[in-house]
Structure 1
């Protein structure tokens, strides 16, 4: 590869671009020939490396590290089921701001460790402080850390816990729930069998629900329904068709609800037709 004449910033931009585009061999070649490797170039390589062994080798060889370095390595370990190693690395970090705390909370959340994630969340300082500095950073309990808690509650079926945290976002931490928080809360409600409340939350939240939020909601109707949720599911099916009218194949797996013709709350003919057209067979297995 011909290396262009450029300054330090130019080298870093090139290495980062190749790494982020997945051209790791070119990124490695450039990285090895850099006259001076700054922290940004090290972090770019670390974030783009798919091999855990190579990532750990890069991390251990870094002349200096920052918050991004520690959180990236913690996340990489957790994603490859090295949760204990991630925990050890978290405790080794010389400082803990919201990024590092959140990385560990998400590590526990993604592996379904509800109690550990909750304990970690409870231990987060109200504000994070960098080591050796009196400069106070923003709220440690941020939007992403709440997302991790909701994800954990969803996997663990902890409706009451999720509701308490959802309320505390505004009441205690002055954080406005975003679209991901609303959709996660609706998913928790749906999985708990409160499909009407889940639908209501999706309809009144100050954001447009994502296509996948309605898919997940219909799945909850299927799991929790024996025909009684068919009207609710039909309304969600219509929302999906409005958003992606040509994607009936993708919808079919999510809207194949079982509902006999003589169910207690029969769907309107329009909704029944909608579901039949999308699902193909009214009694088709999910």
Structure 2
């Protein structure tokens, strides 16, 4: 049942006053609110009703509420409920909180560290009958992949080998491939991938993405051939990784053949990310005019990211004439968007000035800097981080 319809039926039942909902009804309703991106306030209202009728003590209801708050990015409320449950917490409760941390987009690194810290706390509660399961491991591995923590990821893998037969678990295996690839250990990712008896589209895509990330273009094409033998067809995400790999490995012709065969051979319609990969592919190869013509003739409206990719290629190859043309497109897009994005505007001005600097056009560079001052645009300071092991 669609989430909106479930909420409407529940509201009608409450308004009628002749129905009494039990704990399972509230579990389903709160779960529906968790699945709906726009039902944050409705879920809070249902949670208030849960507290009023005395179901706040129920472990299943409380766990579902934690999942609800985590799904809507309110990890503060989720953690408050988690802490209040105390000794009543089950493995599902721990999983709901850990997966809630791992699902956050903003501040993802902070929440990934929080998820790993919570996982350590879960291990210390093992004597109370709370033990991690495959759901826990999937979340923890994704947290390790997000922050590139190979040491913790390897330790988690060791624990998994004691409780799960990895070659037959497609989800655990896929997460391990993804984790090792993102942590820079491609050899281990390949070992896990080759051991797996069952592979789905996510498994193949994770391996292709890992190889692409490490510049293994030829290996990516070999994996694609092996994938086709198993009758698994690549999807849009797979093609993004394939084209990315071709671009970084200098396989221009192979990348173009893949792109133009997406619809006819694989039934996948190219999206803006795929067009961006081709622009990057041609730009890295120095075929700037071809890349510019490709952008102008593409059926989709080119976005800022695509133009920035071409502008960066102009700087690398020292083509200030093309760079100036692309830079003006970018600044025009900023004006037409009607939104004030200071960071993006700063990046575009800086990129254009760098193109002028790379070819010694100092007067043009000074003009760009003066425009930045007139528009009160300041360069954002850069930063880097170092992981201490």
TM over 0.5: yes
CA distance in 1 between counterparts of 2:97 and 2:360 reads 61
- Residue 234 of structure 2 corresponds to 141
What TM-score do the two structures reach when normalised by structure 2? 0.58
CA distance in 2 between counterparts of 1:55 and 1:214 reads 41
CA distance in 2 between counterparts of 1:80 and 1:10 reads 28
Which residues of structure 1 form unaligned runs of 5+?
129-138, 262-266, 281-286
- Residue 98 of structure 1 corresponds to 201
**Following superposition of structure 1 onto structure 2, how do residues 129-168 of structure 1 map, counting pairs within 5 Å?**
139-168=232-261
Tell me: higher relative CO, structure 1 or 2? Use CA pairs within 8 A at least 6 residues apart: 1
- Match among 36, 46, 64 for residue 141 of structure 2: 46
Using a 3 Å threshold, how does the CA distance of structure 1 residues 205 and 8 change in structure 2: closer, same or farther? Answer: farther
Instruction: Work out which of the two has the higher radius of gyration on C-alpha atoms and give 1 or 2.
Output: 2
Residue 121 of structure 2 is aligned to residue 29 of structure 1: yes
- Residue 13 of structure 1 corresponds to 96
* Superposed displacement of residue 15, structure 1: 3.1
- Match among 180, 186, 194 for residue 279 of structure 2: 186
Q: What RMSD over aligned residues (CA atoms) do the two structures have, in Å?
A: 3.2
Residue 188 of structure 2 is aligned to residue 85 of structure 1: yes
CA distance in 1 between counterparts of 2:255 and 2:210 reads 18
Report SS of the residue matched to 2:256: helix
8 Å Cα contact 1:31/1:41 also seen in 2: no
8 Å Cα contact 1:162/1:185 also seen in 2: yes
8 Å Cα contact 1:18/1:26 also seen in 2: no
- Residue 56 of structure 1 corresponds to 157
Residue 313 of structure 2 is aligned to residue 220 of structure 1: yes
- Match among 244, 249, 266 for residue 346 of structure 2: 249
8 Å Cα contact 1:227/1:260 also seen in 2: no
8 Å Cα contact 1:237/1:275 also seen in 2: no
CA distance in 1 between counterparts of 2:341 and 2:218 reads 42
Report SS of the residue matched to 1:27: helix
Using a 3 Å threshold, how does the CA distance of structure 1 residues 52 and 37 change in structure 2: closer, same or farther? Answer: closer
- Residue correspondences, number: 261
* Superposed displacement of residue 203, structure 1: 4.4
* Superposed displacement of residue 200, structure 1: 4.0
- Match among 295, 298, 302 for residue 202 of structure 1: 295
Which residues of structure 2 form unaligned runs of 5+?
1-82, 104-110, 375-389
CA distance in 2 between counterparts of 1:154 and 1:279 reads 36
* Superposed displacement of residue 218, structure 1: 0.8
Q: Deviations over 1:147-204 (max 9, x none)?
A: 1221111112222111100011111001111221111112112223333443344345
Report SS of the residue matched to 1:175: coil
Q: Which has the higher helix share?
A: 2
